[in-house]
Structure 1
C-alpha cells in the first residue's frame, strides 16, 4: 500500500519497530493516516506556523502535520522505543522535523520553535489534562501558542466545552472558556486505535483569545474555582467559607446568590467573585 510520503503504513511501522503500546505511558496508537490528516487539518493553515506535537508514538499524526504543510514540527516523545520510527520520518523531512526524546512537562518549546506556534497532539491519556491546564495557565497572556488541537477521552472533551448548569461544568470548562474559544471538532471510536481504549475519544480545538473574556487575577480565579468545585454539592457560602471571612457579602457583591452551587455560576460570575476576593 502506497502512502503520500512514501513511508510504510503505520501498522507495518509498529510491527517493524516492535512498538507495543504501553498502558503505563497512556499510549493508544492511531493507525489510520486518513484520520491523522483530518486531525492535522483541524488545526488550520499550518504553512506559516511551527507545530508542537506531544506523544507522537510511531508518527502517524506527525506525518499528517508534515503532509499538510507545517512549517516545522517539534515531536516530543518520552518513549525512546519510538525514536527509530520518528527518525525514518525525519529522513523524509530533514529540514522540517525535530525530534526530542523528553517529557513534555519538562521542556521549553520556544528553545526550538518560532511563533506563531500551534500545538497539535493525540495526548497520552495519563498526562492530557495536566498538560492542558499548564497551557491554559501560563505566567502571562496571550500564551506562546496561537491554538491547541488536542485529543482527549470524550468525557474530558465534554467537560471542557460544558456550559453552566451542566454536571460536567467545572474547573476545566472555566479555565478553557475564560481565555479561549474551545469546541469539539472530531469524535473517534475506540476501534480507530491500537489497542482500542475502553472509551470514545474527541478532538478539541482551542483558539487563544487576545485577552481573557473578563478581568480577574488568574491565581485568585484558579483558587476559588478549585475550592468551589471541590465541594460542588454544597452551597457556595459553605464551600467557599475559607476563601474570605465575609464570603457571603463578597458573593452578593459579585452578583451571586450565596445559596447557589458552583455549577450554577457562569464564568463572568466567577471572575467577578475573584475580583471581590482579591480586594483582600
Structure 2
C-alpha cells in the first residue's frame, strides 16, 4: 500500500469521535456491537491472510472499525454492505481516505448479491451482526456449485456459535453447523474476544472463526441429501437414529448399518465421514 494511502487512513479521527459526531449509538434491533479498538480490528484483518491481491466482502461494518483494519492491512478493494443508513457518512469518510478501495452498499446483506461489485479472488471478513450471522454463514457454505466464489471466510460470532462450527463428534456443540462447515472447509477458531472489547459489551464472549474452502468436499455426497439428512438427525438429537430418521427410508436400519452406523447411535456421536456414507445410501442419491 502506498504511503499516501496509509497517511489518509491514519488521519481519520478515533472511532469514539466518529460515533459521537454521527450519533451512532448501537441499536440492539440491528444486532450492533461496535469494535472500537483499531489494534484489534487490524489483528482480525490479519487473520484473513495477505489481502493485497484480494477483494474483500464485509457485512455490517457499522462505523468502520474493521473496514479501516482491512484497508490498513492492504486489501485491494473492500465492498461493505451496511443496513443502517446512520453509518453511511462515517463509511464515506473512510472511502475518501482510501480512494478507489472502498465501495459501500446500503441494504440488507441477505437480499443483496455482491458479486457484481467484486473481482476474484474474494475473501469474506466480517464482524457479523448477531441476528443474521448464522444464516449468512449457512448461505456461504451451501452454494449451488463448489468451490464457491470466496476463498476464505474470517468471521466473528458469539463464542457459542463459533464453537458449534468447529465442534467434534461427541461434544454438546456438535451438530448441523459443524457438518456443513467441515464437509467443505478447514475451520478453526483464531481469536477470542471478551465482552469488554465491544460497545456496548454483549452478554457473551465472541470468537473469530477462519474457514478455508476446500477444492472439493471432504467426502462424496449429494449436498441436498446430506443437508436434509443431517437436519433430520439433529432435529431430534436425543433420539436414536433409527427413530430420528424413521420415514427417511423404509429400511433405514439396514442403511445405517451399511454406512457403519449402529441404529442405536445418536446423531452427536456420528462423524462426518459416516454421515456422508449414509447420504450416499439414501433414496435419490446418484
TM-score range, shorter chain: over 0.9
Shift of 1:5: 2.0
Does 2:82 match 1:77?
Answer: yes
Partners of 1:244 and 1:129 lie apart in 2 by: 30
Q: Deviations over 1:120-170 (max 9, x none)?
A: 000000000000000000000000000000000001001110000111100
Say what the alpha-carbon RMSD is for the aligned residues.
1.1
Shift of 1:278: 3.7
Partner of 1:15: 20
Partners of 2:150 and 2:8 lie apart in 1 by: 30
Does 2:112 match 1:127?
Answer: no
Does 2:41 match 1:36?
Answer: yes
Q: Deviations over 1:185-243 (max 9, x none)?
A: 00000000000000000000000000000000000000010000000000000000021
CA contact (8 A) 2:176 2:231 kept: yes
Number of equivalences: 279
Question: Runs of 5+ in structure 2 lacking a partner?
Answer: 1-6
Partners of 1:85 and 1:132 lie apart in 2 by: 26
Question: Runs of 5+ in structure 1 lacking a partner?
Answer: none
Does 2:238 match 1:233?
Answer: yes
TM-score, length-normalised on structure 1?
A: 0.98
Indicate the SS of the match to 1:243.
Answer: coil
Q: Deviations over 1:44-70 (max 9, x none)?
A: 000000000000000000000000000
Partners of 2:131 and 2:113 lie apart in 1 by: 20
Partner of 2:190: 185
Partners of 1:225 and 1:166 lie apart in 2 by: 16
Partners of 1:91 and 1:4 lie apart in 2 by: 9
CA contact (8 A) 2:54 2:77 kept: yes
Indicate the SS of the match to 1:104.
Answer: coil
Does 2:111 match 1:106?
Answer: yes
Partners of 1:140 and 1:250 lie apart in 2 by: 27
- The 5 A counterparts of 1:61-210 are 61-210=66-215
Partner of 2:4: none
Indicate the SS of the match to 1:105.
Answer: coil
